[in-house]
């Protein structure tokens, strides 16, 4: 039976956690009948390949100076060649900043059917079924994919427990580097890290987080004064930082900070998965949102379906009252 390929992501010399999640998913889908191959594109990446050995039947290594860091054109050329040569049943890619950039272009270039941002994937008698979310996470969708030789699937990070690292079980196999011709004009120049803000939100034991539900910047004062009164640090979800109402350094989520406080109080946050990925490890999460079907209530321990501006003063009074 044809194999399952897992594209393993790395950045600045380290494998990304999601690669091990995809390998665990690949192992489950293989059901002992198919080989699971960890596919690593890089330059001097054999040391990373060794970390993948326990989680894969084979580690496939494509090495070239142009593959040192993710760069769309050399990656596309390398992946297209690997797919043509091996015809895997499935190529699993993370729905990450790399996967979102790469997978749709690869699908178009190699003529592969693509399904993105999957929360679950099933492979039964060769038929591929996936579970996705639509409409800001409020609706689930089960999709059955039309039969095809190779399916390309991107998987949401954080949906599967990671496979173990290290081990020596699998063999590392080197594949030829891609042809360097016919590349379209895109060049990676480097990385830049956003400056840290005035406060390190990832160090705060109690966080008060505010989202789109705050409505307008004038309303932020009510949340700020609540946070001050209860001794919490203020942070936010993406829309609040996008609008410039709070600095980007206060943003919790995939593209901002991952936080693990003792207590996370979320006000007016709907619970986009990019935000949830940044706060789901909080010890206790209490969410306030006037929409009872907001996805934040899937991850919160306690939920209050009410107007945040009614909850803020009432809760502040309760918390600051001498006990």
Partner 1 sequence: MNTIVCVKLVPEVADAELVLLEDGSDIEREDLVLDINEWDSFAVEEAVRLKEAHGGEVTAVTLGDDDAEDVLRRALAMGADRAVRIDAAAFAGTDAMGIARGLAAAIRGRPFDLVLAGAQAADDGWAAVGPMLAQLLALPYATLVVGIEVAGGKVRVERELESSCREKVELDLPALLTVQTGINQPRYVSVMGIRKARAIAIEQSAAGALGLGEGGPRASCVAGRRLFLPEKGKGAQMLSGSMEAICGRAAEIIRERVGGVK
Buried-exposed string 32-49: b where 16+ CB fall within 10 A, e elsewhere: eebbbbbbbbbeebeebb
Residues 8-67 touching partner 1, rule: CB under 8 A, are 11, 16
The span from the CA of 283 to the CA of 280, in Å, is: 8
Query: Which stretch, 41-49, 83-91, 107-115, 217-225, contacts partner 1 (CB under 8 A)?
Result: 107-115
Take residue 182 and report the two structure tokens written for it.
């016919």
CA gap 304, 288 in Å, rounded:
5
- The verdict on 291 binding partner 1 (CB under 8 A) reads yes
Question: Is residue 243 a contact residue for partner 1 (CB under 8 A)?
Answer: yes
Distance CA(132)–CA(237), nearest Å, equals 22
Q: Which of 201, 309, 281 is nearest to 247 (CA)?
A: 201
Minimum separation from the CB atom of position 308 to partner 1 (A): 12
Element (H, E) at 309: helix 308-320
Complex with partner 1: residue 121 or 241, whichever CB lies closer: 241
229 binds partner 1 (CB under 8 A): yes
Answer yes or no whether residue 100 interacts with partner 1 by CB under 8 A. yes
Q: How far is the CB of 57 from partner 1 (least distance, A)?
A: 27
How many residues sit close enough to partner 1 to count as binding (CB under 8 A)?
A: 103
Q: Is the dihedral of CA 254, 256, 260, 261 positive or negative?
A: negative
Residues 145-184 that bind partner 1 (CB under 8 A): 145-148, 184
237 touches partner 1 by CB under 8 A: no
Which residues ranging from 59 to 98 are in contact with partner 1 (CB under 8 A)?
A: 70, 72-73, 95-98
Q: What are phi and psi of 85, to 5 degrees?
A: -75, -35
Of 130, 125, 127, 105, nearest in space to 115 by CA: 130
Among residues 29, 214, 235, 287, the one that binds partner 1 under rule CB under 8 A? 287
Is the CB of 134 or the CB of 173 nearer to partner 1? 134
Distance in angstroms (rounded) separating the CA atoms of residues 74 and 111: 18
Among 166, 205, 215, 217, binds partner 1 (CB under 8 A): 205
């Amino acid at each position: 039976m044809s194999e399952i390929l897992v594209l393993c992501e790395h950045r600045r010399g380290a494998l990304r956690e999601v690669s091990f999640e995809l390998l665990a998913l690949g192992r489950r889908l293989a059901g002992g009948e198919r080989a699971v191959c960890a596919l690593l594109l890089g330059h001097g990446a054999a040391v990373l390949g060794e970390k993948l050995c326990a989680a894969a039947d084979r580690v496939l290594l494509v090495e070239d100076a142009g593959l040192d860091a993710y760069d769309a054109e050399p990656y596309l050329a390398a992946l297209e060649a690997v797919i043509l040569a091996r015809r895997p049943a499935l190529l699993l890619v993370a729905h990450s900043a790399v996967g979102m950039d790469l997978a749709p272009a690869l699908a178009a270039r190699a003529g592969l059917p693509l399904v993105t941002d999957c929360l679950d994937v099933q492979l039964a008698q060769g038929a591929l079924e996936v579970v996705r979310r639509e409409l800001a996470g409020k609706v689930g969708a089960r999709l059955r994919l039309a039969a095809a030789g190779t399916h390309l699937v991107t998987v949401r990070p954080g949906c599967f427990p990671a496979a173990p690292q290290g081990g020596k079980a699998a063999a590392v196999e080197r594949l030829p580097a891609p042809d360097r011709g016919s590349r379209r004009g895109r060049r990676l120049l480097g990385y830049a890290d956003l400056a840290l803000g005035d406060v390190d939100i990832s160090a705060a034991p109690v966080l008060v987080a505010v989202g789109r539900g705050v409505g307008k910047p004038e309303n932020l004062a009510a949340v700020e004064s609540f946070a001050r009164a209860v001794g919490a640090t203020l942070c936010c979800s993406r829309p609040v930082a996008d609008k410039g109402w709070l600095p980007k350094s206060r943003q919790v989520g995939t593209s901002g900070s991952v936080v693990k406080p003792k207590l996370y109080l979320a006000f007016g946050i709907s619970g986009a998965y990019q935000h949830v990925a940044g706060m789901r490890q909080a010890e206790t999460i209490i969410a306030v949102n006037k929409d009872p079907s907001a996805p934040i209530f899937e991850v919160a321990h306690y939920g209050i379906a009410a107007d945040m501006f009614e909850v803020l003063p009432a809760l502040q009074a309760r918390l600051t009252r001498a006990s």
